[in-house]
Amino acid sequence: MFASDKILILFPLFLLASAKLNPVIFVPGDGGAQLEAKLNKTDAVHYICEKTTSDYFNIWLNMELLVPLVIDCWIDNIKLIYDNVTRTTRNSDGVDIRVPGWGGTETVEWLDPSHAATGSYFVDIGNALVGLGHARNISIKGAPYDFRKAPNENSAYFDKLKALVEEAYKENNDTPVILIAHSMGGPMSLTFLNRQTQAWKDKFIQSLISLNGVWGGSMKAVKVYAIGDDLGSYVLRESVMRSEQITSPSLAWLLPSKLFWKPDEVLVQTDKKNYTINDLEEFFKGIGYPNGWEMRKDTEPYQLQFKPPGVEVHCLYGSNVQTVEKLYYKPGTFLDGYPTLLYGDGDGTVNRRSLEGCLQWRTLQKQKVFVQELPKVDHLQILHDKTMLKYITDVIKRYSVAKRKESFWDRFSMFG
Ligand SMILES: *[C@@H]1O[C@H](CO)[C@@H](O)[C@H](O)[C@H]1NC(C)=O
Ligand SMILES: *[C@@H]1O[C@H](CO)[C@@H](O)[C@H](O)[C@H]1NC(C)=O
Ligand SMILES: *[C@@H]1O[C@H](CO)[C@@H](O)[C@H](O)[C@H]1NC(C)=O
Ligand SMILES: *[C@@H]1O[C@H](CO)[C@@H](O)[C@H](O)[C@H]1NC(C)=O
């Protein structure tokens, strides 16, 4: 009788504890955060380009800036300039670029501040989490970064992310954090976790949920260096976009990894020469972009450091979508021509072997690695996919149930 009284008294406490959801932090991918620019330039590439602005304005991804002519101004404002002595990049002279919204979810849920559907990013996941009882900015946070840069120029980000994880943990009754990462956010999270001690991870991290993580680079990066990418938009010209895209060291970081491509595999075929992963220096010379090779050298160490994260992982990825596997230049043409793209399996952007990189950790760490393949779901679609949303909400519910049992038994044994 006495004992059952205790249980009755404890019951409300245990319900309170059940509301304790793990806080979530979104780690976006390449192009997956808003950027803002402020101009004070002495010259511009075109008379129609503004040289000065009184305040910061949204520069990524503002479709109004991507129309003919204006796009030339945009490229000159958002491109990075590489210094091959300091081996770092900087903005164009007179351009200041900042990443707005640190810690909040707004600027990673929506790339377009006006909430145009084309600019929706983490918003469906955000809504699903709110449906579970989460609150934006309190138990769901965002960790945007300057995605143009690779980890070698983002060390301040990893420090800020560590502080944000600790803050989210404390703000939510000492509850460990779930990182949800998309695309390049996967290897960014891995780099981050590899920098922390196991004790820190055991205390502060519940798990890493990765969506289409680029674990071993992608042939898409080679394609972008060769001919650019139109971001899937019919109004953009890939050759124009290329002049901005190739200035980002993060693109060099996303090149195919030697851990995932064999030395005899031909990535780029021409009748004069075949380029394998060991011929990238010559490839960059051939396309007239030697800085690309310098950036590859700067970023490759971060690609080859492929240690398991040391936390529980849920690795979700799309498959069975045509994905560039090889560039083929017809006889009589060379790297200045236009290649035929030969396709293989993947999520449309990342090759299957790279998406599956997380499978390797299953035998290399004691924390569990769960894998969920999502056939016919492409690189960006995964963020809105129903199966993915159900997977994530189920995982989060299961963690909170596990915690409820734990706190129940903790309290029971304390009194009993
Ligand atoms: C703009 O740049 C010029 C130098 O080119 C400088 O003298 C001026 O103070 C700058 N203005 C602002 C608002 O930063
Ligand atoms: C660095 O850049 C300068 C000027 O663009 C160039 O002449 C030089 O060859 C480059 N050095 C390396 C190591 O790429
Ligand atoms: C979260 O914070 C951002 C900026 O601090 C703000 O714009 C947004 O409205 C906040 N969202 C909620 C739900 O409080
Ligand atoms: C390039 O590779 C293809 C197929 O792997 C081969 O048939 C061809 O002879 C190679 N060409 C050169 C120039 O090595």
Is 67 within a domain?
Answer: no
Q: Which of 241, 415, 227 is nearest to 339 (CA)?
A: 227
Instruction: Using the predicted structure, report yes or no on whether residue 17 has a pLDDT greater than 80.
Output: no
Residue 189 falls in the annotated catalytic set: no
Q: 106 CB less than 6 Å from ligand 3?
A: yes
Confidence band of 408 (pLDDT split at 50, 70, 90): very low
Instruction: Using the predicted structure, report yes or no on whether residue 14 has a pLDDT greater than 50.
Output: no
Q: 269 CB less than 6 Å from ligand 4?
A: yes
Is 332 within a domain?
Answer: yes
Strand partners, 275: 268
Is 397 within a domain?
Answer: yes
Site to probe by mutation for ligand 2, drawn from 84, 87, 297 as the one with most ligand atoms within 8 Å of Cβ, is 84
Is 1 within a domain?
Answer: no
Confidence band of 64 (pLDDT split at 50, 70, 90): confident
Taking the mean position of all CA atoms in its chain, how far away is CA 154? Answer: 13
Is 9 within a domain?
Answer: no
Is 170 within a domain?
Answer: yes
pLDDT of residue 412: 46
Is 248 within a domain?
Answer: yes
Question: Residue of the nearest CA to atom 3 in ligand 1?
Answer: 40
What residue numbers bound the domain in which 135 lies? 23-32+102-110+121-415
By mean pLDDT, which of 17-26, 176-185, 326-335 is the weakest? 17-26
Is 364 within a domain?
Answer: yes
**CATH code of the domain in which 387 resides:** 3.40.50.1820
154 CA distance to ligand 2 middle (Å): 24
Three-point CA angle 225, 231, 232, nearest 5°: 125
Q: Which of 54, 353, 361, 376 is nearest to 193 (CA)?
A: 361
Report how many domains make up the chain.
Answer: 1
Tens digits of per-residue pLDDT, 183-235? 999 999 999 999 999 999 999 999 999 999 999 999 999 999 999 998 877 77
Q: 279 CB less than 6 Å from ligand 4?
A: no
Residue 202 falls in the annotated catalytic set: no
Taking the mean position of all CA atoms in its chain, how far away is CA 65? Answer: 24
Task: Report pTM.
Answer: 0.92
Index of the ligand 4 atom closest to the CA of residue 274: 1
